[in-house]
Amino acid sequence: SLHIQAVMMDDLCCAKVNIKTTDEDDVRHFFGDYRLYINIESDCVTCNSSVVFRQLKTVNFLYQDRHGNWVLGPEVGKPRGLLRSNPKEGGNFECPCEVSSWQAWDSDNGWKDDQTIVVKKYKNYSKGY
């Protein structure tokens, strides 16, 4: 399985993505860089057959739920997080950088479209991320 993981690493779209907002007054804590989540054996950690990204400064993760939505939250695999890719725009995107529309969880109203979220890819893939 190590071999498969290594091949998968080379096939990946992004080793690192950046989540930001177009709203300068938005201070939600989950903005910043997310890197591929690698375990002690240097394997990619996966959730629902998709890679997981991890934010370093806070413990937030970016993972796919069982419906194929990218979810951002503090616990890998939880169906509800802080953000998710908008199911109306389709699912099972290989990488969060491909998602064009996001929703934020509002404790009063449930999932709400959030047009301010931008996920940016890093162009260079380097082994030393």
Tell me: the pLDDT tens digits for 81-105? 999 999 999 999 999 999 999 999 9
Q: Say if residue 5's pLDDT is above 80.
A: no
Helix, strand, coil shares of the chain as percentages rounded to 5? 10, 35, 50
Q: Say if residue 17's pLDDT is above 90.
A: yes
Residue of higher predicted confidence among 8 and 129: 8
| Residue-level pLDDT at 10 | 65
Show the CA angle centred on residue 13, arms to residues 8 and 18, nearest 5°. 125
Strands of 4-128 (E only): list them.
Answer: 16-21, 32-36, 46-47, 50-51, 53-55, 60-64, 70-73, 83-85, 102-106, 110-114, 117-121
Take residue 80 and report the two structure tokens written for it: 């509800």
Q: Say if residue 1's pLDDT is above 50.
A: no
pLDDT category of residue 42 using cuts at 50, 70 and 90: confident
Show the CA angle centred on residue 26, arms to residues 83 and 91, nearest 5°. 20
Instruction: Report the DSSP beta bridge partners of residue 54.
Output: 35, 61
Mean of the per-residue pLDDT values of the chain: 87
